Amino acid sequence: MHEQFLSEAAAARATGVSADVFAAGGDGALNLLWRLEHGEGPGGLDPQAVFLMIGANDVLGLGALFPGQGSYVGHAVSVGVKRCLHLLRQQAPNATLLVLGVLPIQIPTPDGTIHMVNDIIAAANEETTAYVARQCSPQLIYKGDGAVVLLQCMQGALDGSRDEQLADEGEGVKLQSTEDEGDLLEDGP
Q: Has residue 29 been placed in a domain?
A: yes
What is the percent of the chain with per-residue pLDDT over 70, rounded to a whole number? 63
Q: What is the CA radius of gyration of the chain?
A: 17
pTM beyond 0.75? no
Q: Has residue 162 been placed in a domain?
A: yes
Q: Which domain holds residue 95?
A: 24-185
* Contact by Cβ (8 Å): 59, 77: yes
The residue-averaged pLDDT of 88-100 equals 91
Residue 106, beta-bridge partner list: 116
Question: How many distinct structural domains can be found in the chain?
Answer: 1
Across 77-90, b (16+ Cβ under 10 Å) vs e yields bbbbbbbbbbbbbe
Q: pLDDT band for position 165 (50/70/90)? A: very low
Q: Has residue 18 been placed in a domain?
A: no
The residue-averaged pLDDT of 54-79 equals 91
